[in-house]
A and B are shown apart, each in its own frame.
Chain A
Amino acid sequence: MSVSADSIPAAPSSRWSLSRLAHDHNVLGVLFLLPAAAFLLVFLTYPLGLGVWLGFTDTRIGRSGIFVGLENYQLLWEDHIFWLSVFNTILYTTVASVLKFGLGLWLALLLNERLPFKAFFRAIVLLPWVVPTVLSAIAFWWIYDAQFSIISWALIKIGLIDSNINFLGDATNARASVIAANVWRGIPFVAISLLAGLQTIPPSLHEAATLDGATSWQRFRHITLPMLTPIIAVVMTFSVLFTFTDFQLIYVLTRGGPLNATHLMATLSFQRAIPGGQLGEGAAIAVAMIPFLLAAILFSYFGLQRRRWQQGGAD
């Protein structure tokens, strides 16, 4: 007769002992979860919750406020500067994301070819992403300087224009300029991620398509692009989220000017909350960004769902 481990009666005193707890999967699970949960609670949930709460109060810097319901949002609803910032943010995000996607994909395709010094070029491409935003923003500030802009100087020397371009002083120019700077900074992320995606496409697929009679454009259209869609969805979701919440670049280059033409929701929120002291109103602007961000995430959630061809048995 064999005696299984279960049938040995446990000593009553050891029933709730530490060693017994340490072997309970549920207890262990909770224990292992705690650090992560605490981290999320302290650094994500609490600030977010605080932000949402502040949005319902009239808190100012140095004076705790009282609950005012939707008053902040009612004010914002009638505030044309807020609506301008919403428009700016959407314009900025849309144009910059489209450009980043187009140029990034192009760059990725180029880097995926057999090039001399390939590793060198791949490293160089990452530079704009590696440099701290504030640093590159200051560099752009110089490039866009009304008097000393190198672009104006070069164009004048070539003879294309007669006087300096007012990059950051004119509403349209300023918008284009900040978008250009953002695109420059965001391309590496898109390019390198898509390059990684390109490299997961087996070369034999391209060979098979070549033998099937596909031109290089047809190979791109029928093989590369469809196989890249899952990674495009991820990359562009992140790119849109980063761009929508951009702050540093604008704050260094224009501080939202001229005439609020480049004020994004993030910069306006900061402007009202910290220099303006209206913490409640600033928080309300920040909270107003949430629906847009949620929409972007939902869009990518549905876009990211595994397509039918990705399902089924393993290889």
Chain B
Amino acid sequence: MASVEIRDVRKAFGATQVIHGVSIDIVDGEFVILVGPSGCGKSTLLRMVAGLENVTGGEIRIGERVVNDVPPKERDIAMVFQNYALYPHMTVADNMAFSLKLRNAPKSEIEARVKKAADILGLGHLLDRYPRQLSGGQRQRVAMGRAIVRDPQVFLFDEPLSNLDAKLRVQMRTEIKELHQRLKTTTVYVTHDQIEAMTMADKIVVMHDGIVEQMGAPLELYDRPANMFVAGFIGSPAMNFIKGSITANGKAVFRTEGGLELPLATAPAGADGRPAVYGIRPEHFVIDEANGIPAEVVVVEPTGSETQVFAKLGGQDIVGVFRERVTVGPGDTIPLTPNPALVHLFDAQTGQRL
């Protein structure tokens, strides 16, 4: 096991720069998830750590060693690919043993290691099968088995759950997390799914357009997003953004463009009259018959455990999520109050947190 240090790393394909100086510290044994929309550079960054892409600038260290110019096979890492990249002409056992065979490991050791990995992943009865004869989840597990057998310093996962159906994805999520708790191997995991990031990571790195927007523990990102991008990316359904300005004379309130007044716990110093964006998570609306601001319901989506209400508040689209049963229909009005303690304010221009 080892730490991974990414120091001001840049990547350009020809004249196009795709990663603009990214620095991430990954502690030994940590489970770090790189998350971001397609094209944000997260997979490229992972492939640079693996050694499948050259580093244009900056430095990558695995353990104490700078690996910029170390060939992939000497980096002591194992990678799980999105399409699993199982060798179709080899059995499950051969797939897992391939790296050991190339290293000329003794046969007894290969067998022992494959068996151990198969036991960990519950693959024992599938060792003689070929990848085509396996289900998606089983292939996923073989791909992880191939990584485990190597007993590497670092595990790299490149969107490993994207090809699975929703139910299996949830199950494998738990399995991967459990596996990490058991093996305690440093893990870098790439995904575009913020739920995966929230549920599995020790540390989340939110990337966007080749830069790190914010990094921190999952709940840190949820509770104190550094900017509107992170605020909108983490959490589902996404945070509501309401445009307007701050009024700090006497009681602090937020005046929307439509003229509504939304409550604020405190206003940032010297913010009176400042144009800003009022961010409130859907789950932080309360139905308040007495003081609520009337919102016109557009669509109601019950999921059983909760109800999502899409509505118009002062002319702006918002969504609220309620654990209690809500009996409203389209066209009704619903009195909503944002919980002032859980409001996020962002600068209207820069999108940074105020």
Measured CA separation A315–B52 after assembly (Å): 26
Contact with A along B274-292 (1 / 0, CB 8 A): 0000000000000000000
CB nearest to A310 among chain B residues: B132
For A218, the chain B residues whose CB sits under 8 A away are 102
Q: What is the size, in residues, of chain A's interface with B at 8 Å between Cβ atoms? A: 24
Query: A208 touching B102 by the CB < 8 A rule?
Result: no
> Is B144's beta carbon under 8 Å from chain A?
no
Contact with B along A217-238 (1 / 0, CB 8 A): 0100011001100000000000
Measured CA separation A111–B31 after assembly (Å): 41
CB nearest to A219 among chain B residues: B102
> Is A202's beta carbon under 8 Å from chain B?
yes
For B81, the chain A residues whose CB sits under 8 A away are 204, 207-208
For A208, the chain B residues whose CB sits under 8 A away are 79, 81, 85, 87, 146
Measured CA separation A218–B73 after assembly (Å): 13
Q: What is the size, in residues, of chain B's interface with A at 8 Å between Cβ atoms? A: 29
Measured CA separation A179–B79 after assembly (Å): 48
Query: A207 touching B87 by the CB < 8 A rule?
Result: no
For A312, the chain B residues whose CB sits under 8 A away are 129-130, 132-133
> Is B298's beta carbon under 8 Å from chain A?
no
Measured CA separation A50–B73 after assembly (Å): 64
> Is A199's beta carbon under 8 Å from chain B?
no
> Is B103's beta carbon under 8 Å from chain A?
yes
CB nearest to A307 among chain B residues: B89
Give chain A nearest CB distance to B274 CB in angstroms.
Answer: 50
For A313, the chain B residues whose CB sits under 8 A away are 132-135
> Is B195's beta carbon under 8 Å from chain A?
no
Within 8 Å by CB of A204, from B85, B103, B131, lies B85
Query: B73 touching A210 by the CB < 8 A rule?
Result: yes
Query: A211 touching B73 by the CB < 8 A rule?
Result: yes
> Is A311's beta carbon under 8 Å from chain B?
yes
Looking at B85, B130, B135, the one whose CB has the most chain A CB atoms below 10 A away is B85
Query: A227 touching B78 by the CB < 8 A rule?
Result: no
For B85, the chain A residues whose CB sits under 8 A away are 202, 204-205, 207-208
CB nearest to A207 among chain B residues: B52
For B51, the chain A residues whose CB sits under 8 A away are 211
Contact with B along A175-219 (1 / 0, CB 8 A): 000000000000000000000000000101101111111100010
Looking at A208, A223, A312, the one whose CB has the most chain B CB atoms below 10 A away is A208
For B129, the chain A residues whose CB sits under 8 A away are 312
Also in contact, A211 and B83, with CB within 8 A (given A309-B130, A309-B132)? no
Give chain B nearest CB distance to A311 CB in angstroms.
Answer: 7
Measured CA separation A36–B122 after assembly (Å): 54
For A15, the chain B residues whose CB sits under 8 A away are none
Which residues 117-151 in B have Cβ within 8 Å of A in the complex? 129-135, 146, 150
Query: A209 touching B98 by the CB < 8 A rule?
Result: yes
Q: Supply 20 A–B pairs (Cβ within 8 Å), ascending by A.
A: A202-B85, A204-B83, A207-B50, A207-B81, A208-B87, A208-B146, A210-B52, A211-B52, A212-B73, A212-B146, A214-B73, A227-B89, A309-B88, A309-B130, A309-B132, A311-B133, A312-B130, A313-B133, A313-B135, A315-B132
Interface residue ranges, B against A (CB under 8 Å): 50-52, 72-73, 77-79, 81-83, 85, 87-90, 98-99, 102-103, 129-135, 146, 150
Interface residue ranges, A against B (CB under 8 Å): 202, 204-205, 207-214, 218, 222-223, 226-227, 307-313, 315
